[in-house]
Amino acid sequence: MTIHDQRILRFGPRLADAGARQLVSVGARAVADQGGKLFGVFKPVIGMSQNCVVVITEWPDEAEAATRAAAALQSVSGAHLMAQDLWEPTARPLPGEAPSETSGFYSHRAFDIRPENWPRFLELSTTAWDNFEGVNESVVKGFWKTRTPPEPGLMRVRLTAWYASLDAWERSRWWSSNARPGQEAAIQRFRERSSMLENNEVSILTRVAA
């Protein structure tokens, strides 16, 4: 089963931009040499330190991710590991899929729910996307179950979505009074999905081009 490795790397002050450039060049080649693929390198805009970089890589299975992802990223100098987790893709992405947009913004979300709510949570999400994407300048890029639970009795779901602008992100919110008309079906599903949340976090980032 394809698995994704997500790492939050911290660099010294004003060194994150150079580190991100290393990751999309030298780092990507090192990942490929180990049999993986770079899903994306992201720099924070809102919600995380400007000295951090988020890198997500794809591997053929969990064993490969666990043994090779760290070695592949050792080619990047000055990076200190802040957090790491393995993510199991669900409805998106398909194997080999990766974001292509380098303009706009990417939301990185964490949803904490009870495991028994996962089937309905997945259904509500996937059936909302056609309406959501058809109205908003947005595309859901990934929807994963993480290997590390946030606490006993909960599971964590990660979502990454692209938005053409911060205004597009704001107008796509189901709770916003300025929500774009025409997404009522999606809003209804997202409202029900929200009732299942034990916790919800979001950061806004940009994707670093190769």
Q: Is 75 left (phi over 0), alpha (psi -120 to 50) or beta?
A: alpha
Distances (CA, A) of 48 to 42, 72, 102, 154, 194: 11, 24, 19, 23, 23
Distances (CA, A) of 87 to 3, 140, 158, 171: 6, 16, 8, 28
d(CA 202, CA 77): 28
* Residue-level pLDDT at 170: 94
- Could you read off the pLDDT tens digit of each residue along the chain, which spans 210 residues? 999 999 999 999 999 999 999 999 999 999 999 999 999 999 999 999 999 999 999 999 999 999 999 988 888 889 999 999 999 999 999 999 999 999 999 999 999 999 999 999 999 999 999 999 999 999 999 999 999 999 999 999 999 999 999 999 999 998 888 889 999 999 999 999 999 999 999 999 999 998
Q: Contacts by 126-130 with C-beta closer than 8 Å and gap 24+?
A: 126/91, 127/189, 128/185, 128/186, 128/189, 128/190, 128/193, 129/186
pLDDT of residue 117: 98
* Helix residue spans in the chain (DSSP H): 16-22, 28-33, 62-73, 118-135, 166-171, 184-194
Closest CA to 106 of 57, 164, 158: 164
Where are the chain's structural domains?
3-92, 105-204
pLDDT, tens digit, 9 for 90 and up, residues 86-132: 999 999 999 999 999 999 999 999 999 999 999 999 999 999 999 99
- Give residue for tokens 């916790």: 199
Phi, psi of 166 (to 5 degrees): -65, -30
Two tokens at 55? 């890198």
- Residue 41: both structure tokens together: 């390198």
The CATH classification number of 105-204 equals 3.30.70.100
Integer Cα distance of 8 and 81 in angstroms: 6
Residues 3-92, CATH architecture: 2-Layer Sandwich (3.30)
Q: Is the pTM of this model over 0.75?
A: yes
Q: Do domains 3-92 and 105-204 have the same CATH topology?
A: yes
Structure tokens at 42: 């992201």
